[in-house]
Structure 1
Amino acid sequence: MQTKQLTKAVGPLWESAMVLYCEIFPEWEREAIANIEAAVNSGNSRCILVHEGNKTIAMSLTEVYWSKSFAMLGYLFVSSNHQGQGLGKLLCQELFDFFNQSHDLKWLLVEAEAGPERFYEQLGFSTLGIKYLSPHYDDMQSTEMALMLYSKAEQSAPTKAQLWHIVHHIFSESYYLSSDDPRLEQQRNYII
Structure 2
Amino acid sequence: MFVRTASERDLVAVRALLVETWHATYDAVHGAEQVAAITDDWHSIASLKARLTRPNSEFLVADDGKRLGGMAFAAATTDPKIVLLHQLYVHPACQRQGIGRLLLDEVEASFPEMRTLRLEVEEANAVAIAFYEANGFRRAGRTADCGGSSGWPALILEKRLG
Question: Could you tell me the TM-score, scaled by structure 2's length?
Answer: 0.75
CA contact (8 A) 1:126 1:148 kept: yes
Percent same amino acid at aligned positions? 20
Report the secondary structure of 1:14's partner residue. helix
Distance 1:88 1:23 in 2: 16
* Of 3, 16, 20, the match for 1:19: 16
Distance 1:59 1:93 in 2: 12
State the partner residue of 2:75. Answer: 63
Greater relative CO, 1 or 2 (CA 8 Å, sep 6+): 2
Aligned CA distance change for structure 1 residues 68 and 54 (closer, same or farther; 3 Å)? same
Distance 1:18 1:92 in 2: 19
Aligned residues: 143
Question: Could you tell me the TM-score, scaled by structure 1's length?
Answer: 0.65
Q: Over aligned residue pairs, what C-alpha RMSD do you find?
A: 2.3
- Once the 2 structures are TM-superposed, how far is the Cα of residue 29 of structure 1 from its aligned partner? 4.7
Distance 2:156 2:143 in 1: 6
Distance 2:161 2:147 in 1: 30
* Of 56, 74, 77, the match for 2:86: 74
State the partner residue of 2:5. Answer: 5
State the partner residue of 1:148. Answer: 157
In the alignment, structure 1 segments of 5+ residues that lack a partner are: 154-192
Write out per-residue CA displacement over residues 89-144 of structure 1, whole angstroms, 9 at most, x where no aligned residue.
11112222233xx22x332111123331111011011101x33223467xx76112
State the partner residue of 1:132. Answer: 143
State the partner residue of 1:106. Answer: 115
Structure 1 residue runs of 4 or more that deviate by more than 6 Å after TM superposition? none
Aligned CA distance change for structure 1 residues 136 and 49 (closer, same or farther; 3 Å)? closer
In the alignment, structure 2 segments of 5+ residues that lack a partner are: 23-34
Aligned CA distance change for structure 1 residues 134 and 98 (closer, same or farther; 3 Å)? same
CA contact (8 A) 1:134 1:143 kept: yes
Aligned CA distance change for structure 1 residues 81 and 64 (closer, same or farther; 3 Å)? same
Aligned CA distance change for structure 1 residues 123 and 135 (closer, same or farther; 3 Å)? closer
